[in-house]
Amino acid sequence: MISIIDYELGNTLSVKNAIEKLGYKCEITNNKINISNSHCIILPGVGSFNKGISNLKKLKLIEILNEEVLIKKKKILGICLGFQLMCENSNEFGFNEGLGWLNFEVKKIDSKNLRLPHVGWNKINLLKNETNFLNKINNNNMFYFNHSYAIKNYKKNNLSDLMTCSYGEDFVAAIKLDNIFGIQPHPEKSQKQGLQIIKNFIEC
Amino acid sequence: MVAKRIITTLMLKDGVLFRTKEFSPDYRYTLNFVDMWSVDELIIIDISRNLNFDDKEKEIFFEEMKKISKNAYIPITAGGGVRKLDDIEKLLKNGADKIILNTASIIDTNIISLAAKEFGSQCIVVCVDTMSEKDQYYLMENYGQKKSKINLIDYIKKIQEKNAGEIFLQSVNKDGSLTGYDFNLLEKISSYIKIPLVISCGAGNWDHVKKVLSYEYVSAASLTNIFHFTEKSINSLKNYIKDSTFIRE
C-alpha cells in the first residue's frame, strides 16, 4: 500500500488515479497507522509553501513523517510543493522554514523576460542517472510544470539522480538523495513519461 | 522554452457535455472528440446556473469530473460557481489541478489574493468574459449576459496585481462562431498582460490557432467545437502547426 499524504492541499485524486493506472494500491490518508504501515509515501502538492507547512503542523504530520523518512528510512516522493516542503526554507509569501530533509532553499525563478508562473510542458536535462529513479527518461521528454518558485542552487556530488529544467535560468526538476525523491513538475499530469517516473519510484 | 499549449474546454450542464454558442448550450458534445494523449490540458466548466458548491445537485458535476480525470494524465483546470476557498479545495479533491474564478472575482478581486496565499498563485486561473460592440470591448458578468460597470483594462490590471496565475480569456461574440479568435481584442489588451494568457472562443480552422499562438503573450489556445468536424483532430492540428510553433508533439 502506498500512502498519499492528505494535508488538505493538493490534487490528491490526480495522484491516486496515476498510481492506480500503474496497477498499484494506494490510499489518501493522514492517519499515523496507515502511513506507518505503508510501503512508501507520496507527498503531493498544489499550494503555497506557507500554507503547506502550517497544514502539516496543524495535522501533526511532521513528527510522523520525520520518523518514517529519517529514522525508518522509508521511501518518499515529494511532488511540486511536496518536494519544496522537504527543503530548508522558502520565501514564497514571506520566509518559512521547511521540513529540512534536503539542504536546499526554495526561491522565486528569475525568469528574465519570460512570464511567471512557469506553466506548461517543458523539456528536461538529465544530468545524473545512477539508480532506477530516472530509468527510461531522456532529454527529449517533456513534463508539465506549474510553479513560480524552485530550487536553483544544488550540489551535484551527493545526489545519485538529477534532472534540471530551464526557464530564464536552470533549476532542479528531479532529484534523489538516498530514500528521499523529489520532483518539481507534476508526473501524475505528464502522461507516459510522468507515469514512468512514478513507476520507477515505486519499484526503486 | 515552455511549449505553447493546445487546450480543450468542456462545458457541462447538469452533468451533460455541450458545445456552446454565445455562452449558451448549443449541441450535445462527446468526449470521443478529445484525444487525451494529444491534448495538453483540459478545462472543465460547470455551466449549470445558480448552483452552490453545497447544493446536492453539484455532486453531478463532481461525479463527471472524476470520471473524466480517471483517464486524463494531463492537467485539468476546473471552474463554474466557485465562490469561496472551500470550493477550491473541493475541486482539487475531485480531480482538478487548477481552478477558475470568474463571478467571485468580479464581486471582489480580493478572493484572488486569498486563494493564491492558500493554493499558490499558479493554481488560480481567472476567467475574463468579454463582448465587443461597435469597436468597444466590455467586461461581461452574469454568464456573459450583462455588461459590467468595471472597465475591462482596469480589471485585467487588477486581477494580476492580486496574484492571478493565468488569464482565461473568452469572448461572447466569438463563442461557437468558428470565425477565428478575437484578434482585435488581443491587440487591445496585449500590453497589459504580464502573466500566461489562455485564449478561447472562435477557432474555426488550424490557421486561426497557428496565428494566435504566434503572439508572444498568448501561452495557450483553447478549442472545442472545431474538434467536432475533423478526424483525429488534435493530432492533425499539432502536425499542422509544429513547424512554426514550439509545441509538445
Residue A109 lies in a domain: yes
Q: Which amino acid is at B215?
A: Y
Q: Which helix (H) or strand (E) holds A167?
A: none
CA distance A147 to A113: 16
Query: C-alpha angle with apex A19: B57 to A176, nearest 5 degrees?
Result: 130
Take residue B108 and report the three cell numbers written for it: 471582489
Taking CB atoms and an 8 Å limit, are A115 and B195 in contact across chains? yes
Tell whether omega for the bond before A117 is within 30 degrees of 0, i.e. cis: yes
Q: Which of A26, A40, A80, A165 is catalytic?
A: A80
CA distance B98 to B74: 11
A177 lies in which domain range? Answer: 2-92+104-203
Number of domains chain A contains: 1
For residue A34, the model assigns a pLDDT of 98
**All structural domains of chain B with their residue ranges:** 5-241
Take residue A126 and report the three cell numbers written for it: 538529465
Q: What is the ipTM of this complex?
A: 0.95
Q: Which helix (H) or strand (E) holds A108?
A: strand A102-108
Residue A169 lies in a domain: yes
Residue A49 lies in a domain: yes
Which SS3 state, helix, strand or coil, does residue B8 take? strand
Residue A99 lies in a domain: no
Which SS3 state, helix, strand or coil, does residue A50 take? helix
CA distance A79 to A87: 12
CA distance B11 to A71: 49
Does A188 qualify as catalytic in the annotation? yes
Which residues, including other chains, have CB under 8 Å from residue A157's CB and lie 6 or more apart? none
Estimate to the nearest angstrom the gap between the alpha carbon of A132 and the chain centroid.
17
Residue A48 lies in a domain: yes
CA distance B168 to B127: 5
Does A165 qualify as catalytic in the annotation? no
Which residues, including other chains, have CB under 8 Å from residue A48's CB and lie 6 or more apart? A81, A92, A93, B116, B117, B118, B119, B120
Taking CB atoms and an 8 Å limit, are B118 and A48 in contact across chains? yes
Residue A98 lies in a domain: no
CB B98, CB B77: distance < 8 Å: yes
Residue A9 lies in a domain: yes
Take residue B165 and report the three cell numbers written for it: 496565475
Residues of chain A found within 8 Å of residue B5, distances taken between Cβ atoms: 120-121
Estimate to the nearest angstrom the gap between the alpha carbon of B78 and the chain centroid.
9
Inter-chain contacts counted by CB atoms under 8 A, chains A and B: 119
Written out in words, the top-level CATH class of the domain with range B5-241 is alpha beta
Across-strand partners of A166? A170
Q: Which helix (H) or strand (E) holds A190?
A: none
**Along the 249 residues of chain B, how does pLDDT read in single tens digits?**
899 999 999 999 999 999 899 999 988 888 877 888 899 999 999 999 989 999 999 999 999 999 999 989 999 999 999 999 999 999 999 999 999 999 999 999 999 999 999 999 999 999 999 999 998 999 999 999 999 999 999 999 999 999 999 999 999 999 999 999 999 999 999 999 999 999 999 999 999 999 999 999 999 999 987 877 666 689 999 999 999 999 999
Residues of chain A found within 8 Å of residue B1, distances taken between Cβ atoms: 122, 167
Q: Look up the CATH number of the domain holding residue A142.
A: 3.40.50.880
Q: Name the pairing type of β-strands B76-79 and B98-101.
A: parallel
Q: Render B38-92 in DSSP notation, one character per residue.
A: T-SEEEEEE--TT--TTSTTHHHHHHHHHHHHHT--S-EEEESS--SHHHHHHHH
